[in-house]
Chain A
Amino acid sequence: MNQPGLWEALRGIVWRDLLLAMRRRSDVAISVLFLVIVASLFPLGVGPEPAVLRTIAAGVLWVAALLACLLSLGRVFTADYLDGVLEQMLLIPQPLPVLVTGKVFAHWVVSGLPIVLLSPLLGLQFGLEGEALGTLILSLLLGTPTLSMIGSIGAALVLGVRGSGLLVALLVLPLYVPVLIFGAGAVTSSMAGVGGEANLSLLGACLVLSLFFAPWATAAALRIALE
């Protein structure tokens, strides 16, 4: 029998996960709506002064994105774990980290990309303009895949554990801190006129490192969860 190659397996996993997500569109909508609502609460709580909003914009939008990512982490593996598909995936001859990368990429397309696409709108709500807005979009584009990658480690560790939703927040949020600092820092420094390149480069470095290391850790965690 012909075995599918590495790329075909990766494509197959990504396609399957995207298809499944499209069949349950409300799941996707929830985390996006969550982001919009959280971001809209801040002007109500802090007050509508444009100057204040512009100062807190980067931090608020990044924290909201972080929480939205966190909220959607349960979807990466849980459904497949419950119906036993994950166990079959572990038996596939292709290396597990590659499959994990595929699943995480599909998860990012479904939950990270909408955040990136929505960010210009939220940025305008907070009075960001021009270069700062562009930096916000770029920083989210570089940062959200890192969030998905790091988050997948936590999601795999807490599979089937009681109270997993809260536990994953405790495990993953500390590791999100560098991304938050560099992401919000990029926007803030571009607003200050210094340019966000340094922070964006650091975000890129975080992305490359997490792309390389996270799939291995996630694969190890999945094997532990299913042994």
Chain B
Amino acid sequence: MKINWSKYSAPLAFYPLAGKMIPWFGTVAALTIAVGLYIGLLVAPTDFQQGEAYRIIFVHVPAAWMSMFLYVVMAGWAAVGLGLNARLSFMMTQAIAPTGAMFTFLALVTGAMWGKPTWGAWWVWDARLTSELILLFQYAGVMLLRTSIDDQRRADRASGVCALVGVVNIPIIYFSVQWWNTLHQGASVSMTAAPKMATIMLTGMLLMTFGFWMYSLAVILSRVRCVILERESLQLWSKPSSVAEAVEVR
């Protein structure tokens, strides 16, 4: 069966599809996060250096990964929108930004909670922390630029350019622990080398990452549905009474 993917670039067609996908992603997210937390908090052994405090990494590392990943995805949708002039791409950009900002904030807060017992300070001005903080400002900038421009088309395109320009920060965050001598430890997990941590810890962390990923998909899709309804409110199909019908007609 051949699926016509470009069909779903129309908000009218994407709206019901997103609605069908949300429960799946949501359920998978809830299950994986539950198992991940169980492994992370109860099964994984205590670290011989950091004691119990290290367990925050099961939230911290996945949140930090997602914060960078979502920014790249957001910028990617902005590039698609600017290049192909697709409305739905900009709606995705708008829907991703708050979730990305939330994960950035979560990474910073959990990092501070880990830093206090381990480093003895809530915050240090090292390269990775600073660049992650800047990422938070960039999310804020993209969102604020969108809300301060009244013309929808211009708001989309301007915040898209803004998001694309900010992508330079992502490699800086990612490689900051290698480029500079920092207090923040280097990467414990990499694609090319064997991970420097016990398998059970790695399993927990990867499960949490997968769970956060699925959670992001579920939340972003529900937000994009709201954005679609908001923006297409002048279209006949998106009137409250006809949404149900439109979904059934599909």
Write the chain B residue with the least CB distance to A162.
B148
B112-146, CB < 8 A from A: 130-131, 134, 137-138, 140-141, 144-145
**A-side interface size class:** 20 to 34
C-alpha gap A155/B207 in the complex (Å): 43
Minimum CB–CB distance for A167 against chain B, Å: 6
Q: DSSP class of B's interface residues: helix, strand, loop or mixed? A: helix
Count of interface residues, chain B, beta-carbon cutoff 8 Å:
24
Within 8 A of B (CB), among A146-175: 153, 157-158, 161-164, 167, 170-171, 173-175
Q: Is the interface of A mostly helix, strand, loop or mixed?
A: helix
Residues of B within 8 A of A217 (CB): 161, 164-165
Chain B residue contacts of A170, Cβ below 8 A: 137, 140-141, 144
- A-B CB contacts (within 8 Å), total count: 55
Taking CB atoms, residues of chain B closer than 8 Å to A53 are none
- The one of A164, A173, A178 that contacts B172, using a Cβ cutoff of 8 Å: A178
**Complex contacts, A225 vs chain B, CB 8 Å:** 154, 158
Identify 13 new A-B residue pairs, CB closer than 8 A, beyond the known A170-B137, A173-B137. Answer: A158-B148, A161-B148, A163-B148, A167-B145, A170-B144, A171-B145, A171-B162, A174-B137, A174-B138, A174-B141, A174-B169, A175-B169, A177-B131
23 A-B pairs with CB atoms under 8 Å apart are A157-B145, A158-B145, A158-B158, A163-B148, A167-B144, A167-B145, A167-B148, A170-B144, A171-B141, A171-B145, A174-B134, A174-B141, A174-B169, A175-B168, A177-B130, A177-B134, A178-B172, A217-B161, A217-B165, A220-B82, A220-B161, A224-B161, A227-B154
The interface of chain B, by Cβ under 8 A from chain A, is: 82, 130-131, 134, 137-138, 140-141, 144-145, 148-149, 153-154, 157-158, 161-162, 164-166, 168-169, 172
